Amino acid sequence: MAVTLDTLRKMKQAGERIAALTAYDFSFARLLDAAAVDLVLVGDSLGNVIQGHATTVPVTVDEMVYHTRCVARGLQRPLLVADLPFLSYQESPQQALHSAGRLMKEGFAHMVKLEGGAAMAPAVRFLVERGVPVCGHLGLTPQFVHQLGGYKVQGRGEAAAQQLHTDALTLQAAGAALLVLEAIPRALATQVTQALDIPTIGIGAGAACDGQVLVLQDALGMNPTPARFVRNFLLGHDDLGAAIAAYVQAVREGSFPGPEHGYD
């Protein structure tokens, strides 16, 4: 049975962990589908792991449409989410709708993801009111890397934590149906997850989030300098499918992320 947003909401309510991974092509998408991954994200992280850029900033809507369409052909079960790339949605809600429409109509995405807090609420509301499901993204937002001064943990300190908490509630009120929390302290992720009715998907945000996501290439040990929240699931397994299945199992049973895979 295909995973829907209603499925993910019910998983949160039941305390069942959501397993998510990125994918960028048909072949890996089929492996994720076979491993019963719940959510597949075509991330603009393809700028890093596929194109070799230092950041996600150069990725275009055309590139996101192409890779999303490739992934869609390999999926039957998971919810398919696609990133809106840098400066494809910040100009106006109308621009966001045009870009999101392309990802859904041409790329066959079920949902789009955008980065940013309360400033993005009008765009989120505009999209949702017109039938576009939206996933928010707070904490370390890679499209803002130059403004942030690098890939750093976010939400530390009382003021920063309160702002992130407020942003999360604002995005939910605007209609966001999911929220990615990246590289924030465990305690803050716990507070935000408990405060929200919508599921949270963590990456470097501790075990209290409703689900977990990793960049697929990171989860398969292909990054020579992985972040501390990454675990190589290929170790001890003979093939890629077994490694991906091990990731799904570890998320479901709560053994990943462990205490070493997050920030205080």
The DSSP secondary-structure symbol of 112 reads: E
Count of all residues that appear for the chain in the document: 264
Joined together, the tokens standing for residue 33 give 């589908």
Q: How far apart, in whole angstroms, are the C-alpha atoms of residue 191 and residue 186?
A: 9
Question: CA of 142: how far to CAs of 78, 85, 100, 237, in Å?
Answer: 24, 10, 19, 31
How many Cα neighbours within 13 Å face the side chain of 175?
17
Question: CA of 237: how far to CAs of 27, 188, 246, in Å?
Answer: 19, 34, 9
The answer to whether 106 is a known catalytic residue is: no
Contact between residue 179 and residue 20 where contact means Cβ atoms under 8 Å apart: no
Residue labelled with tokens 């499918």:
241
Cα–Cα nearest to 15, from 155, 161, 208: 208
Phi-psi bin for 114: left (phi > 0), alpha (psi -120 to 50), beta? beta
List, in sequence order, the alpha helices (H) in 24-157.
Answer: 26-34, 46-49, 61-72, 93-105, 121-129, 145-148
End-to-end CA separation in angstroms for the chain = 38
Candidate list 63, 182, 253, 260, residue with the active-site label: 182
Catalytic residue set: 182
